Structure 1
Amino acid sequence: MTPLAQTAQAIEEYAPFLQDGDLLEVLQDLADQVVALVPDCVGLSLACYAEGVTFTMVATTAEIAALDAVQYLDTGPCVTSAEEGRVVESRAGDPLDEERWGSFVRASAALGIGSTLTLPVIVEDRPTGTVNLYARSARAFDGRHEQIARVFSAWAPGATTNADLAFTTRGSALRAPADLGNSLQVQIAAGLLAAEGHVTPEQARERIRDAALRSGLTEGQFAAALVKLFSADAG
């Protein structure tokens, strides 16, 4: 697994100001350790909650970042874990998961994800972020929760400090004029989201913008993922 291009670029740009100068190397090592424990794991993201904002600090594929973003449109295990400060696991075909996290479950199925595991990052007795793992099979994480938690526990306090630093500038960068080329995809996705979510097109576009920002994707990338999801549902 390798980080998204946006993640690598952000880390390189802000490296002089981060506590961990070799942050990208640290993140890659964490991903390698997870894959060694769970060979079926195909995606990883680290999310941080600062100033009431959630965003994905690192995601190993654009599809995984899109799954994170879908949760910010509605809800999902990542959001639930952060709010409740507990480990949350989801599996394909679980009726309870479908009821709680309908959009996320459908998006996971469309992308071939069989199970997810979310671990809260606890700093000074409060949840400040989450570690989100995605696997192809339904029981990839069974019996491995504690081992995975140990992989991330030593680095958990640093996650919030490093993530807070880059958020504001990343937000403005992702809203740059270069992203306007994806406006048609955004308009299509907003129309579909408005029809399903009973919101106005303007509200739908704002939700897409916010979810994309939090996940580290451009609006165009996330809009394309949403169109793919709606098309899979229709099929």
Structure 2
Amino acid sequence: MDPIPETAAAIEEFGPFAEADLLEQLSHRSDQVKALVPDCVGLSLASSRHDVTFTMVATSAEIAVLDAVQYLSGGPCVDAVQADRVVTFDHDDVLDEQAWQLFAQATAASHVLSTVTLPVLAGGAVVGSINLYAASADAFVGHHEAIARIFDAWAPGTVTNADLSFSTRAVAEQAPHKLKQDVDIQVAVGILAAARGTDVDEALDELRGAARRAGVTEAELAATLIEVERHEGRA
């Protein structure tokens, strides 16, 4: 699997997020998952500490192979071309058609049919979660313990099929923006602390209070303070 562009950018620009290279860790662990669950087409690691999500998805080569299966089995896109008509695809209907079984199992690139979510632990505390997505309905059956070992997760806390829409990918796409906002807030707090002669905790409380009273976000206020500081520095 490969990282989505936003995950690669977030790790490159704002990392590291772990003692070892996070991107290398995700790549290695996604390889382990693929060996265990060949139908796995994506995974997302949500970090409670950094409040961001990192996502890996099937490579273009893997997706191409899945698409190619359609031409061997005659999926709806092939039938539409041959019949010069529009054909809709409904997974439940396809499963009733033995001739389309292969296609139903090969639509992982666009159809997530099963998911598992496990809490990730560190020192006995939950520090995040891992979400995995697969192309077949029973892909993860019997593998919860093994997946938990790969990610240092807690198998008894497994939740199945909670995110068939792969919503964590959309969350992961916001990671660079979210991390940039966090950096801005840290910089703004430093500016306030220096200007007020206070410590960073007091400065952070002041920033939060001012943002709340003004009805703006902490990130918006932080960006404005940084711009003012830059302007004054140029003056």
Structure of higher CA gyration radius = 2
TM-score, scaled to structure 1 = 0.42
The structure carrying a bigger helix percent of its residues is: 1
